[in-house]
Structure 1
Amino acid sequence: MKLLLAALSLLLSIALICSPLYLVYIGFVGPNVSFGVRVLLVVIGLVLCRLVKPISIITGKDWKIF
């Protein structure tokens, strides 16, 4: 039971770290959606990147721009 809970926590934290980057990626190269939706995805992804700081978490350095 502890192993299952630890695995779920790991997956949740990985999803939290990678989801802002994925939103920005989908905003740039995503499927055929309108320009407004693409801009909205990029803006939401960048705001989440500012809050979560996934680049700083992944690299272990405190990047001021992210």
Structure 2
Amino acid sequence: MSIHNVREFSGGLAAVKYSNKWGFIDKTGKLVIAHEFDSAKSFSEGLTVVEKDNKFGVIINPLLK
């Protein structure tokens, strides 16, 4: 897998861009949230904002469950 962009880890996860889509990995490199978003921000206070097909949403950090 060739990662094109990586954001800083926050809340144990980092946003990573692969094949022009964003997803999230944990500190071991395991994919936790699939690469399906057009844009993604780093987690803050357990939440992140993502965009897909010109629609925005919020994801709760699955590591906090």
TM-score bracket for the superposition, by shorter chain length:
under 0.3
Q: Which has the larger radius of gyration?
A: 1
Answer 1 or 2: higher relative contact order, Cα 8 Å, separation at least 6: 1
- More helix as a share of residues: 1
TM-score, normalization: structure 1? 0.24
- More strand as a share of residues: 2
